[in-house]
Amino acid sequence: MKFSGGDLLMRALREEGVKYIFGYPGGAALHIYDALFKQKHIEHILVRHEQGATHAADGYARSTGKAGVVLVTSGPGATNAITGLATAFMDSVPLVVISGQVQSHLIGTDSFQETDMIGISRPIVKHSYIINKAEDIPKVVQEAFYIATTGRPGPVVIDIPKDMTDPNLKFEYKKPKSINIRSYKPKIDPHPGQIKKAARALLSSERPVIYAGGGVVLGNASKELIALNKLVKVPVTNTLMGLGSYPPKDKLFLGMLGMHGTYEANMAMHNADLILAIGARFDDRITNTPALFAPNAKVVHIDVDPASISKIINADIPIVGQVKESVLALIKEIKKSKIKIDSEALDQWMSQIYEWKRLHGLNHDLWKHVRKNQKILPQVVVQELYHATNGDAWITSDVGQHQMFVAQYYKFNKPRRWVNSGGLGTMGFGLPAAMGVKLAFPKDEVVCVTGEGSIQMCIQELSTCLQYGLPIKIVNINNEALGMVKQWQDMIYNKRHSASTYQNSLPDFVRLAEAYGHIGFKVTKQEDLSKVFKKAFSLKNRLVFIDVYVDPSEHVYPMLVAPNGSMKDMWVAKDKKA
């Protein structure tokens, strides 16, 4: 049997286990859309903007660990997908983005809707392909999924000129039985000698910290991390991307570290004598000034990407390997080792950490205290949400103060449940990402915690949610400002609020939600919060938009002092440095 290029593509996608394609049609993609129409294995989700398609596929990918698939047309369709590609690239999310392209013979002639997609996406993809023989489609698709999902995952673009999917040209479906890319061998076993050294260093330390990042989530190594710490019982902190990989209720858990990390986590990092970094990349939002980073710490760094090691902070013991395999190897080595970790020193270290926590730790009980006749605290919104969902919802977020409040107060107890744009910090991510998560886990509660600024960047997707019946819950932490920007202006620019407020131009979000066919609630009083959440979550089959007006003067603390600060230099409250 012979197939057109479009049919080859559909079959190849199906063989990769693809269930959903998030996309938007247009001229150069129409042959593909026709092939899509004629099959019934893959469902297409028509978004309202290609940025939404990429974030939705991204949410699907982050929550399932499988590659998310996007289909867009050439030119503006392709350029609209760029923000989503960059978002996925920065957070190592596996995506396969298929873009239509003008016909091969028109490439380079400035033809209608022609953009050099390979060129503009080059710095923000793991790899990209342009199809120049239709019969290559199955092989390219197979490779694209392999590259996107293995090693350090990332997005892959396949650009398909329109003539490659001409329905009149038919080909045999052929692809190699196994994948063999001589220039790409992602499976790396950790070096046993390095593992030995790491075990020795960890067991001989007196003030150790495990600093676990998004790599633990991406590498499905949460169980192994927990098992490792059952053995050594040392304090653990998570990056923004690593939250959920370690149980928040464990006494050894210090919460998030970094820019808005907990006081005790940042202090522990600064004062540590050993830092075991697992699947983390010493981002500048973590280290603060690299030259002042953890002056007395030996650094052990496990990462699948050798380029992440010693990029910012020199690793004393680098370990290149898959996170899961490396942690397992470390566990084995520790069990074999004769060195006993100094439990007395550890106890002392922990009491020091608890002391820091007692001094400036986060208050998770704010919600218990009702502030009458005052605006709601944004932190309380997250705490109430945590209780309304038993801490068990999938939470997506946008970017800003609300995002940090979720990271600080929603105690994620499972990996992958926290879906946010950490690396690129893309406003507009939350709603479409929630659609992807909801499609992947239709029975679970999926909540998008957003801000009135961010939500307006992809608000059009409310229409997509109606079309496909996606009953997600949106919690809009409405501080009537670009809060995070305003916070910086308060702190650094002497309260000059340049372009960070809207002067009474905000839409009525309740009526807006209703106009899109959904339900909207407005909350202005703390005592109404739990009732409204209860009501919203009881509306199982409806999208509910909960617009919560909060205290606009609230800031996110702690906050690392920059520039020229170290991890121990923090603002812990307005006008209070610790």
Partner 1 sequence: MKRTLAVLIENKPGALARIVGLFHQRGYNIDSLNVAPVFDESYSRMTVTTQGNENVVEQITKQINKLIDVIKVSDLTEGSHHEVEYVLLKISTKQFNQTFKRKLKYFEHHIIEQDNSIVVLGVMGNSASIDDFLKSLNKKSLIELSRSGCIGMHKSEKHLTI
Ligand X SMILES: Cc1ncc(C[n+]2csc(CCOP(=O)(O)OP(=O)(O)O)c2C)c(N)n1
Where do contacts with Mg ion occur on this chain (CB under 5 A)? 451-453, 479, 483
Token pair 């309304």 in the structure block, residue: 388
Q: Which of 10, 16, 22, 50 is catalytic?
A: 50
Q: Nearer Cβ to ligand X, position 253 or 410?
A: 410
Q: Which of 241, 435, 457, 484 is catalytic?
A: 484
User: In whole angstroms, how large is the CA radius of gyration of the chain?
Assistant: 25
Q: Which of 103, 113, 352, 460 is catalytic?
A: 113
Measured from the CB of residue 512, what is the shortest distance to partner 1 in angstroms?
A: 40
Token pair 């690392």 in the structure block, residue: 560
Beta-strand ranges (E) seen in 24-136 are 43-46, 68-72, 95-101, 127-130
Q: Which does 426 bind (CB under 5 to 8 A by kind): Mg ion, ligand X, partner 1, none?
A: ligand X
Measured from the CB of residue 476, what is the shortest distance to ligand X in angstroms?
A: 9
Query: Are 24 and 47 contacting, i.e. CB atoms less than 8 angstroms apart?
Result: yes
Q: Which does 454 bind (CB under 5 to 8 A by kind): ligand X, Mg ion, partner 1, none?
A: ligand X
Q: Which of 38, 39, 43, 112 is catalytic?
A: 112
CA 95 to chain centre: 13
Q: Does 305 sit near partner 1 (CB under 8 A)?
A: yes
Measured from the CB of residue 115, what is the shortest distance to partner 1 in angstroms?
A: 15
Structure tokens at 402: 């609300």
Distance from C-alpha of 206 to C-alpha of 348, rounded to nearest angstrom: 9
Q: Nearer Cβ to partner 1, position 128 or 288?
A: 128
Q: Nearer Cβ to partner 1, position 113 or 310?
A: 310
Q: Nearer Cβ to partner 1, position 157 or 217?
A: 157
Structure tokens at 319: 């370990």
Stretch binding partner 1 (CB under 8 A), from 114-122, 133-141, 201-209, 288-296: 114-122
Per DSSP, 181 falls in state -
The strand pair at 570-573 and 68-72 is best described as: unpaired
Q: Nearer Cβ to Mg ion, position 98 or 458?
A: 458
Interface with ligand X (CB under 6 A): 398-402, 425-428, 451-454, 477, 479, 481-485
Measured from the CB of residue 81, what is the shortest distance to partner 1 in angstroms?
A: 18
Segments in 399-482 forming alpha helices (H): 401-409, 430-440, 461-467
Q: Nearer Cβ to ligand X, position 212 or 560?
A: 560
Q: Is 36 helix (H, G, I), strand (E, B) or coil?
A: helix
Q: Nearer Cβ to ligand X, position 313 or 455?
A: 455
Helices 378-388 + 526-538 axis angle, to 10: 40
| Site track for partner 1 across 313-352, x = CB under 8 A | -x--------------------------------------
Query: Are 326 and 198 contacting, i.e. CB atoms less than 8 angstroms apart?
Result: no
Distance from C-alpha of 379 to C-alpha of 8, rounded to nearest angstrom: 51
Q: Which does 65 bind (CB under 5 to 8 A by kind): Mg ion, ligand X, partner 1, none?
A: none
Token pair 């092939």 in the structure block, residue: 35
Q: Nearer Cβ to ligand X, position 308 or 426?
A: 426
Q: Is 50 a residue of the active site?
A: yes
Q: Is the peptide bond before 25 cis (omega within 30 degrees of 0)?
A: no
Tell me which amino acid residue 442 is: P
Measured from the CB of residue 510, what is the shortest distance to Mg ion in angstroms?
A: 17
With CB under 8 A as the contact rule, the residue among 17, 108, 119, 176 that binds partner 1 is: 119
With CB under 8 A as the contact rule, the residue among 46, 118, 188, 491 that binds partner 1 is: 118
Measured from the CB of residue 368, what is the shortest distance to partner 1 in angstroms?
A: 49
Strand order in the sheet with 570-573: 559-560, 570-573, 576-577
Q: Does 281 sit near partner 1 (CB under 8 A)?
A: no
Q: Is 224 a residue of the active site?
A: no
Which of 317, 314, 540 lies closest to 445 in space, CA to CA? 540
All residues at 6 or more sequence positions from 185 whose CB lies less than 8 Å from its CB, including other chains: none
Structure tokens at 38: 């004629």
Measured from the CB of residue 127, what is the shortest distance to partner 1 in angstroms?
A: 4
Distance from C-alpha of 427 to C-alpha of 451, rounded to nearest angstrom: 9
Which residues partner with 274 through β-bridges? 208, 298
* CA dihedral for 268, 274, 278, 279, sign (positive or negative): positive
CA 248 to chain centre: 18
Which residues partner with 1 through β-bridges? none
Q: Which does 126 bind (CB under 5 to 8 A by kind): ligand X, partner 1, Mg ion, none?
A: partner 1
- What is the dihedral angle through the alpha carbons of 221, 226, 232, 233, rounded to the nearest 10 degrees? 140
- Cβ-proximal residue to Mg ion, closest one: 451
Q: What's the start-to-end Cα distance of the chain, in Å? A: 72
Measured from the CB of residue 58, what is the shortest distance to partner 1 in angstroms?
A: 21
Q: Does 301 sit near partner 1 (CB under 8 A)?
A: no
Measured from the CB of residue 140, what is the shortest distance to partner 1 in angstroms?
A: 12
Q: Nearer Cβ to partner 1, position 95 or 232?
A: 95
Q: Which does 73 bind (CB under 5 to 8 A by kind): ligand X, partner 1, Mg ion, none?
A: none
DSSP string, 482-523: -HHHHHHHHHHSTT--TT-B-SS----HHHHHHHTTSEEEEE
Q: Which does 423 bind (CB under 5 to 8 A by kind): Mg ion, ligand X, partner 1, none?
A: none
Q: Nearer Cβ to Mg ion, position 420 or 566?
A: 420
| Site track for partner 1 across 122-141, x = CB under 8 A | xx--xxx-x-----------
Measured from the CB of residue 100, what is the shortest distance to partner 1 in angstroms?
A: 18
Q: Which of 3, 10, 162, 175 is catalytic?
A: 162
Q: Is 3 a residue of the active site?
A: no
The strand pair at 171-172 and 473-478 is best described as: unpaired
Distance from C-alpha of 156 to C-alpha of 141, rounded to nearest angstrom: 10
Which residues partner with 520 through β-bridges? 545
Stretch binding partner 1 (CB under 8 A), from 211-219, 221-229, 290-298, 307-315: 307-315
| Site track for partner 1 across 165-184, x = CB under 8 A | ----------------xxxx
Residues that bind partner 1 (CB under 8 A): 118-119, 122-123, 126-128, 130, 147, 181-184, 305-307, 310-311, 314
Active site residues: 50, 112-113, 162, 484
